[in-house]
Chains A and B, each alone.
Chain A
Amino acid sequence: MAEAILTATDLVKHYPIKGGVLRRTVGHVKAVDGVSFELLKGETLGIVGESGCGKSTLGRLLMRLEEPTSGSVVFDGVDMYAQKGRAMRKLRRDIQIVFQDPYTSLNPRKTVGDIVGEPFDIHPDVVPKKGRRKAVQDLLDLVGLNPEHINRYPHQFSGGQRQRIGIARGIALNPKVLICDEPVSALDVSVQAQVVNLMEKLQDELGLSYIFIAHDLSVVRHISDRVGVMYLGKMAELGEEDDIYGRPTHPYTQALLSAVPVPDPTLRDKKEQIVLKGDVPSPANPPSGCRFHTRCFKAQDKCKTDIPLLELRPDGAGEHLSACHFAQPREIIETIDLTEQGAGNAV
C-alpha cells in the first residue's frame, strides 16, 4: 500500500449562528463534524454526498481557506494548521484547488496569461522571470488549450475551456495534491468527459493525488480509486470504489446508489429503488445518535442514542469502513459507469 500524503483527523468546522440584539452565539451549524481519512500518494479519493452535507467545507478546510474548529491535517509529515507566514506559503505550493464554477473562478479583467502566471508571481522562485511566458504557454498546451491564446480574456472561452484554465492555474506550481471541488458539475455532460479525461491524463503525467468532490456518482466512480460518502458533516462510508459501488453496507449509500438511473431498459424494472422519507435535517440541529436515523429504513432504538463509529465492518466479500450499527450488504443492481460508456460512444 502506498504511503499517505495527507491525513485528516477528526476535522470539525462549526459556524456560529448569531442571534438577538446583542449578536450572541445561539447555536452552531455543524458543517463538518469529525471527519477522518487518509489520502494516499497518486490516488484519487472521491467524496460524494448531497447538497449541504459539508463536502465543499471539507475542501476549503483542506486548503486552509477556512480555519477548523478542531482537528488536524497532516500533509507530508507537516501539521498544516500549525504553519504560519512563510512556511504556510511554501506549503500552499504543494496543495492546490480547482473550483466548481468556471465563470466565477477566473478574474474577468485579467488575461489568461496573467491568471495562469499569477502562481509564478506569488512564488517567484519557481520559475525565473524570463521563462514565465514560456512556462504559462507550456501549461496551456498541457491542458489542451492553444498557447497562442495567452492574451485572451476569460469571457472569450467556453465553460470547458475556462475550467481547463482553472486546472492550469492549479497545477502551475507542480502541487502534490489537487483538491477538485465539483470541477465538472457546472459543465455539459460532453464537456465533463473531456475535463475528467484531462484530469486523469494529468494524474498519470504529474503523479498528482486528487481529492475529487462531487455529487455525480457515476463521474466519481469513473475517476476515483477510493470513495467516501458524506452525510450531514460525517463520513458514512469509506472504501475502495468496488466496495462502495458493489457492496455498500450503509443504508444511506444504498439509497443513493438506488437513485442512479439505469441506462438498460430491461434491467430497469428489476431495480429496487429506495426512496428516503423526509428532507435532510438541519446541520444546526443534527439528530442524536446516528445522523441518518430520522430517514433510515433500518433505524432502531439503538440508532437514536449510540453514534455508530466509522470502522471496518464486513461487506460480504471482505470488509470496509462503514458507520452503521446494522451494516450489511444489500442487493442493488450494479449501475453502469455512465462516464465510461458515454466517452466510449463518442470515440
Chain B
Amino acid sequence: MTEASTIAVSAEAGQPVGGQADEGRSLASDAWRQLKGNPIFWVSVSLITLFVVMALVPQLFTNVDPGAAVLKEARAEPGADAWFGRDIQGYDIYSRTVYGARASILVGVFSTLATVVIGLVMGVLAGYYGGFLDTLVSRVTDIFFAIPLLLGGILFMSTFPNDQNTPYLVVVGKVVLVLSVFGWPSIARLMRSSVLQVKPNDYVQAARALGASPWRIIRSHVMPNALAPVIVVSTINLGVFITAEATLSFLGIGLTPPAVSWGVAISDALVAVRTYPHILLFPSLFLSLAVLAFIMLGDAVRDAFDPKSR
C-alpha cells in the first residue's frame, strides 16, 4: 500500500453520508422538529399555558372575589350574573374555579420539581457509584414503595392537620412535602436503571481513560443520555400529583377552607350532586383538563425522544 493511495482513500472517506444538511442535528433538535408538527403537543401546551397564567394572575380572568358569598343566590344556575352559577354557599363558581388553579398548579409543579431533584441525585449516586450506596438507596426506595402515595398522604395530613389560621403557603407546602417524600423513589429507581444502562458504554470508558473526573463524566456523558425517561415520567407525574392534591382536599385533609382549590370545590359540591350537578361539573372539568394536558404533554415528549417510535 502506497502513501498516495492511503490519502486518496482518506479523502473519499471524508465525504458526508446520507443527508447533505450541514447544520448540526441532535436528538433534541430532532425531537423538537417532531413536536412542532404534533397537534396534541400544541393543544396540551396551550392548555397548560392557560392554567399557568390563571394560577399566576387570576385577576385577568375574573374580578369577582372568590370569598364573596351571596347567600340568597346560593345554588343559582349558570347565567349572565355568575357564568358557572353559584355553589351552596353562594360563591361564584367561575371565580372559585379560576382561583383554584393556583393551588393545583403550585402543588403539581413544586412536587414534580422536588421529586425530580431528589430522585436524580439519589438515582445517579446509586447507579454510578454502586456498591453500598446502591444497596442503601435501593432498600430505602423499597421501603417507600411499600406505602402507597395516597395512604402516605392521608397518614401525614391527618397527623398534622391544618386549621383556619394556617397560612396558605404552609398548607400548600405540607401537601408538596408529603407528595415529594412519597414520590421521589420512583424517579430515583428510573434514573438508577437508566444510569446503569449508560455507564458501561464505551464513551464513558473513553472519558475515564482520558482522566475525566467522576463529576465531569456524570455531567457531560451520563446525565444527558440518561435523562430522557425521567423527563417523560415526571411530566406524567405532574398530572398524578394534581390528582393526589385534589383527592386529599376532597377527603378534607389536603387544602382546607379558606384555601380555594378544585379538590375543595369538588368535595363541597358532593352534597348537592343530584339536585345541582353544575356545582360539581365545573371544578371537575377543569381538573380533568389540567391532568389530561400534562399527561398528553408527557406522551408527546416521550414519543419525540424515543427514536424507535418515529
Taking CB atoms and an 8 Å cut-off, the chain A residues in 169-193 that contact chain B are 169, 173, 193
Contact A161–B17 (Cβ < 8 Å): yes
Selected from A100, A164, A169, A340, the residue in CB contact (under 8 A) with B13 is A164
The docked-state distance in angstroms from the alpha carbon of A101 to that of B205 is 12
Contact A107–B211 (Cβ < 8 Å): no
B60 proximity list for chain A (CB < 8 A)? none
A101 to chain B, nearest CB (A): 6
Contacts A92-B211, A153-B25, A156-B17: A109 and B225 contacting too (C-beta < 8 A)? yes
The docked-state distance in angstroms from the alpha carbon of A230 to that of B55 is 69
Selected from B1, B14, B206, the residue in CB contact (under 8 A) with A344 is B1
B210 proximity list for chain A (CB < 8 A)? 92, 96, 118-119, 122-123, 169, 173
Contact B201–A149 (Cβ < 8 Å): no
Contact A153–B13 (Cβ < 8 Å): no
Write the B5-47 contact mask toward A (1 if CB under 8 angstroms, else 0). Answer: 1110111011111110011111110000000000000000000
Taking CB atoms and an 8 Å cut-off, the chain B residues in 291-310 that contact chain A are none
Contact A109–B216 (Cβ < 8 Å): no
Taking CB atoms and an 8 Å cut-off, the chain B residues in 255-293 that contact chain A are none
Which of B13, B15, B27, B206: most chain A CB closer than 10 A?
B206
A247 to chain B, nearest CB (A): 26
Contact B206–A156 (Cβ < 8 Å): no
The docked-state distance in angstroms from the alpha carbon of A144 to that of B15 is 10
Binds B, one of A11-19, A194-202, A257-265: A194-202
Q: What total of chain B residues lie within 8 Å of the partner, measured CB to CB?
A: 39
The docked-state distance in angstroms from the alpha carbon of A133 to that of B236 is 41
Write the A98-130 contact mask toward B (1 if CB under 8 angstroms, else 0). Answer: 011100111111110001001100110000000
A68 to chain B, nearest CB (A): 16
Contact A105–B203 (Cβ < 8 Å): yes
Write the A50-83 contact mask toward B (1 if CB under 8 angstroms, else 0). Answer: 0000000000100101000000000000000000
B14 proximity list for chain A (CB < 8 A)? 144-146, 149, 161
Contact B211–A144 (Cβ < 8 Å): no
Contact A153–B24 (Cβ < 8 Å): yes
B221 to chain A, nearest CB (A): 6
Contact B9–A146 (Cβ < 8 Å): no
Shortest Cβ distance from B206 into A: residue: A105
For residue A160, CB closer than 8 A to chain B, the reply is yes
Contacts A153-B25, A201-B3: A92 and B209 contacting too (C-beta < 8 A)? yes
Contact B19–A156 (Cβ < 8 Å): yes
The docked-state distance in angstroms from the alpha carbon of A156 to that of B221 is 19
A28 to chain B, nearest CB (A): 19
For residue B202, CB closer than 8 A to chain A, the reply is yes
Contacts A144-B11, A149-B16, A194-B10: A89 and B211 contacting too (C-beta < 8 A)? yes
Contact A97–B9 (Cβ < 8 Å): no
Contact B13–A194 (Cβ < 8 Å): yes
For residue A158, CB closer than 8 A to chain B, the reply is yes
Selected from A65, A157, A197, A343, the residue in CB contact (under 8 A) with B209 is A65
Shortest Cβ distance from A194 into B: residue: B9
B229 to chain A, nearest CB (A): 15
For residue A151, CB closer than 8 A to chain B, the reply is yes
Write the A133-175 contact mask toward B (1 if CB under 8 angstroms, else 0). Answer: 0000000000111101101110011101100101001000100
Contact B212–A146 (Cβ < 8 Å): no
For residue B207, CB closer than 8 A to chain A, the reply is yes
Contact A104–B201 (Cβ < 8 Å): yes
A347 proximity list for chain B (CB < 8 A)? 1-2, 5
Shortest Cβ distance from A158 into B: residue: B17
A111 proximity list for chain B (CB < 8 A)? 24
Contacts A108-B225, A344-B1: A156 and B25 contacting too (C-beta < 8 A)? yes
List residues of chain A with CB under 8 Å of any chain B CB.
60, 63, 65, 88-89, 92-93, 96-97, 99-101, 104-111, 115, 118-119, 122-123, 143-146, 148-149, 151-153, 156-158, 160-161, 164, 166, 169, 173, 193-194, 197-198, 200-201, 340, 343-344, 346-347
Can you name 19 extra interface pairs (CB under 8 A) apart from A100-B202, A105-B201, A197-B6? Answer: A63-B209, A97-B205, A97-B206, A99-B202, A101-B202, A104-B203, A108-B225, A109-B27, A118-B207, A122-B216, A144-B7, A144-B10, A145-B13, A149-B14, A156-B18, A158-B17, A193-B1, A200-B1, A343-B1
The 6 closest A-B pairs by CB, nearest first: A144-B10, A105-B202, A89-B211, A92-B211, A146-B14, A99-B202
- What are 28 A-B interface contacts by the 8 Å CB criterion? A93-B211, A96-B210, A97-B205, A97-B206, A104-B203, A105-B206, A107-B224, A111-B24, A118-B212, A119-B210, A122-B210, A122-B211, A122-B212, A144-B10, A144-B13, A146-B14, A151-B23, A153-B24, A153-B25, A153-B26, A156-B16, A156-B25, A157-B17, A160-B13, A161-B14, A194-B9, A194-B10, A347-B5
